[in-house]
Amino acid sequence: ETGVTQTPRHLVMGMTNKKSLKCEQHLGHNAMYWYKQSAKKPLELMFVYNFKEQTENNSVPSRFSPECPNSSHLFLHLHTLQPEDSALYLCASSQVRGLNQGAKNIQYFGAGTRLSVL
């Protein structure tokens, strides 16, 4: 148990559906992240939130919409996805986000949501 909970663990959706992924952390952290992990590809950072403010969006298509209502919760809203969006979506949190912060930069990950887009 890492202190980061993701739901659902598995999701199958059609290309016209709208769904949301949820992430909750019980660690008192201030930074939260969404990652995409596809087969045989490096981990891709999608979004970063620091103190509830979005600080990074790594050229993610607009069909992915993040939301961070507070420091403990992070959502990823999905709509009109494509089959190539099928992947493992991972949420993570860290105490802070910044240079030379040592242990405060350690990221704690949820178990992920396995998404299949039909």
Partner 1 sequence: SQELEQSPQSLIVQEGKNLTINCTSSKTLYGLYWYKQKYGEGLIFLMMLQKGGEEKSHEKITAKLDEKKQQSSLHITASQPSHAGIYLCGAGSGQSGTYKYIFGTGTRLKVLA
Tokens of 93: 């949190």
Q: How far is the CB of 2 from partner 1 (least distance, A)?
A: 7
Q: How far is the CB of 114 from partner 1 (least distance, A)?
A: 6
Instruction: Specify the residue, 18 or 58, whose C-beta has the smaller distance to partner 1.
Output: 58
Instruction: Specify the residue, 80 or 96, whose C-beta has the smaller distance to partner 1.
Output: 96
Instruction: Specify the residue, 4 or 78, whose C-beta has the smaller distance to partner 1.
Output: 4
Tokens of 21: 């992924």
Contact residues toward partner 1 (CB under 8 A) are 2, 4, 6, 42-43, 45, 88, 90, 92, 97-103, 105-112, 114
96 within 8 A of 8, measured Cβ to Cβ? no
Dump the DSSP string for 2-70. Answer: -SEEEE-SEEEE-TT-EEEEEEEE-S--SEEEEEEE-TTS--EEEEEEETTEEEEE-S--TTEEEEEEE
Q: How far is the CB of 16 from partner 1 (least distance, A)?
A: 26
Q: How far is the CB of 75 from partner 1 (least distance, A)?
A: 17
Instruction: Specify the residue, 16 or 99, whose C-beta has the smaller distance to partner 1.
Output: 99
CA atoms of 8 and 51, how far apart (whole Å): 24
